Structure 1
Amino acid sequence: MEADVEQVLIAEAVIEKRLDAMALEIRHDFPGEVMVVIVLLKGAFVFAADLLRRIPRMLEIECLNVASYHGGTESSGKVDFLDRKLPDIKGRKVLVLDDILDTGRTLRAVVDRLLEEGACEVKTGVLLKKDKELAEQVDADYVGFAIGDEFVVGYGLDYKGRYRNLPYIGTLKKEAI
C-alpha cells in the first residue's frame, strides 16, 4: 500500500498539530453548548474522530452518508444522500465535518439540506481545501490545510475504498490509479 504512494504531502505530525489548533477555534465558536456534529461518511471519519477527541465537552455525533466521487478520482457532479433519514437538528447549531472541499457541491448540498430541515446555524469544517475555483458558492468555516488541485489519499480519503488508513495525506503513483 505505501509502495503506491508517490509523495507524502502532509505528514502525520503536521496533521496532529493542525487539529489541535482547529479544535481551539471550534471550542471558541461553540462556547459551553452541546454541539451537534455531523460527520460526512466515509472520508471524514478519521479526521472527525481525531478532531473531536480534542474537544472536551458534550457532543452529539451523527453520521451522514453522502457520495459524489463514486469510486473515481473526480467528483461526478451529483451528490447522493445515501441515508433515508437525517438527524433531528431543528433549532440547533450544527457543525458539519467533511474530508475535502473540492467542487463545493457536497458541502453546499448538505448545508442547504440541514437548513431546510430546520438547523438554526450550520458551520463547516474540512481537513483539506483544494486551491481551485469551486462549482458551488461555499466556503468552510474551519480548514485544516489548503492543497493544490491534485487527487490525494490517506487520513480517511480513499481511492476505490483503499488507502483510508494511511496516517498522512499523499498522492498516488500513476500506475496505482
Structure 2
Amino acid sequence: MDAKSIEADLVRVLCTEEQIQERLAELAQEVWEHYEGEDLLLVGVLKGAVMVMADFMRHLPGSAPMDWMAVSSYGSGTKSSGVVRILKDLDADITGKHVLIVEDIIDSGLTLSWIRTNLLSRSPASVEVLTLLRKPDAAKVEVETRWVGFDIPNEFVVGYGLDYAEGYRGLREVATLAPHVYS
C-alpha cells in the first residue's frame, strides 16, 4: 500500500520508503561495526517493529539471531497509557548477551523504558536501543537510545508497521494520520 492509495486519510508523508531504506542501511552498518565479534541478540517489539526488524536485518553485512517481545500499553487510543503488560516474552536466555532492542517508534518512552529495565534485570552483557522513529517532544521519560533513524514531530503517525486500530501497517511510508480518522 502506498500513500497515494489512501491520501484522504493522511496529512503528509514524513519519511518515504527510499529514505527509510537508506537510513536502515546506514544504521545496520554502524551496528555491525559496533558489535563486531560480540554475541548479539536482536529483540524486536511486536507488532510495530516487524517491518523495521525485517529490513534492518536484510541490511546487516552478516547474520544475528532475533527474538521477539510483545507488550501492550496503548489499548485502543492514540496515547500511551503507561501501564505495560507482557503478552509474549523472549524465548532466549539473554544472560551474558549483548541485546539490541529494535523498535519502530519511541513516543512517550514509557513502554520502552519499562522493557529496557526488564531486560537489564536478566543479566545481559548490555542492552542498547535502535529505533526507526523518535518523537522528542512527546517524551515523558528519557530513554537512552544509541541509534535513531529519524526524529519526527509529535503527531500521530502510521505506516511501515505503525498502525491505528490495526490498519495502515502495510503503508510503505511513514505519514501523519488525518485527525478525522481517529477523532
Normalising by the smaller structure, the TM-score range is over 0.9
**C-alpha spacing 1:162/1:84, structure 2 compared with 1 (3 Å):** same
Equivalent residue number for residue 161 of structure 2: 156
Q: Could you list the runs of 5+ residues in structure 2 that have no partner in the other structure?
A: none
1:123 and 2:128 correspond: yes
Q: Of residues 17, 23, 26 in structure 2, which corresponds to 1:18?
A: 23
Whole-Å separation in 2 of the counterparts to 1:100 and 1:175: 22
SS in 2 for 1:24: helix
Aligned to 2:109: 104
Aligned length: 177
Sort the Cα spacing of 1:67 and 1:15 in 2 relative to 1 into closer, same or farther, 3 A: same
- Compute the TM-score of the two structures, normalised by the length of structure 2: 0.91
| Superposition CA RMSD, Å | 1.5
Displacement of 1:86 after TM fit?
5.3
TM-score (norm 1): 0.94
More helix by share: 2
Structure 1 counterpart of 2:45, from 40, 47, 54: 40
Structure 1: 5+ residue stretches without partners: none
Find the aligned partners of 1:176 and 1:28 in 2 and give their Cα distance.
Answer: 42
- Note the C-alpha offset of 1:33: 3.0
Could you tell me how far 1:165 is from its partner in structure 2? Answer: 0.4
